[in-house]
């Protein structure tokens, strides 16, 4: 077996983002198949999409406890929705014979952002974690994004070769908003000095959209680890990205390159 690759399955890729709690089963199955064909040891981090962001937004869960609101049922409901989404992922992996174990972050992580606390769980097969509602020392609870999990796994685990962000709807980071973009607008190599007009559906998303992925990607890359963002709707691109072959997408370089 080769080295370790940490891959994020974006929430917008594996769910239909605008319809509450609906999975994109086709994409989940194709990503599971890709993982079964990979020669690498994998850590999979998946996002929330319509299983997390809508209710979290409505009940302002990213802000922590707000005394005037009744948020308790929403916390439980988002955690349970995320477990359901995770079950789709785990079932798809099992169906293609991938031995995987999932570790819900609210059971082991405290705090949000890149400096959350908690020992990163790891399994001898494929490790699976996901964005979640986690306990928080000051705010009581908050939203831990999968983008912060991929940063920490990529930089703290021994022997990580590469971090891959598989996203939905776009081929990588684009110079212009996706609706106006042609193939020439794909930024093949991005570093924090390069401006782009990233889409962030802040009316839906409680975490950071493509901007957060780019920022966390650059931090991973500062640690000497290759980072690539690819369109996860193309299984051959995802596999090539995992294996380190050249592929259509955006390579993320550190601010120092
Ligand atoms: O989609 C967000 O995780 P992300 C988690 O990886 C929730 O940013 C519960 C909204």
The predicted structure's pLDDT at residue 200? 60
Q: How many CB atoms lie within 10 A of CB 26?
A: 10
Query: Could you list the mean pLDDT of each consecutive 10-residue stretch along the chain, which spans 257 residues?
Result: 91 95 98 98 98 97 97 98 98 98 98 98 98 98 98 97 96 90 93 79 76 94 96 98 97 81
The predicted structure's pLDDT at residue 206? 83
The predicted structure's pLDDT at residue 201? 65
Contacts of the segment 83-87: beta carbons below 8 A, 24+ positions apart: 84/21, 84/51, 85/14, 85/15, 85/21, 85/23, 85/46, 85/48, 85/49, 85/51, 85/52, 85/130, 86/46, 86/128, 86/130
DSSP secondary structure code for residue 239 in this structure: H
Distance 46 CA to ligand 1 centre (A): 8
The predicted structure's pLDDT at residue 36? 98
Name the residue of 114, 207, 212 whose CB sits within 8 Å of the most ligand 1 atoms, as the mutation to test its pocket. 207
The predicted structure's pLDDT at residue 208? 79
DSSP-based three-state secondary structure for 59: coil
Nearest-atom number in ligand 1 for the CA of 8 is 6
DSSP-based three-state secondary structure for 8: strand
The predicted structure's pLDDT at residue 205? 80
Residue from 190, 103, 105, 180 nearest 145 by CA: 105
Token output for 81: 């929705």
Sign of the C-alpha dihedral computed for residues 92, 104, 165 and 205 taken in this order: positive
């Amino acid at each position: 077996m080769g080295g370790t690759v940490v891959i994020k399955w974006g929430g917008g890729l594996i769910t239909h983002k605008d319809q509450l709690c609906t999975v994109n089963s086709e994409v989940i199955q194709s990503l599971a198949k890709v993982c079964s064909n990979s020669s690498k040891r994998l850590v999979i981090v998946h996002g929330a999409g319509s299983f997390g962001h809508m209710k979290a937004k409505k009940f302002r869960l990213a802000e922590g406890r707000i005394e005037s609101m009744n948020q308790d049922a929403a916390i439980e409901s988002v955690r349970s929705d995320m477990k359901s989404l995770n079950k789709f992922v785990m079932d798809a992996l099992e169906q293609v014979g991938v031995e995987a174990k999932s570790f819900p972050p609210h059971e082991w992580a405290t705090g949000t952002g890149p400096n959350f606390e908690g020992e990163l769980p790891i399994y001898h097969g494929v490790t699976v974690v996901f964005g979640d509602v986690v306990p928080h020392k000051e705010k009581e609870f908050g939203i831990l994004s999968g983008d912060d999990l991929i940063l920490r796994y990529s930089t703290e685990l021994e022997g990580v070769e590469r971090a891959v962000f598989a996203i939905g709807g776009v081929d990588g980071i684009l110079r212009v908003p996706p609706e106006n973009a042609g193939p020439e607008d794909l930024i093949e190599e991005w570093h924090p000095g390069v401006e782009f007009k990233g889409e962030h559906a802040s009316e839906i998303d409680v975490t950071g959209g493509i901007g957060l992925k780019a920022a966390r990607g650059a931090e991973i890359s500062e640690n000497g680890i290759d980072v690539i963002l690819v369109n996860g709707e193309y299984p051959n691109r995802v596999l090539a990205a995992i294996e380190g072959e050249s592929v259509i997408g955006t390579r993320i370089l550190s601010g120092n390159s």
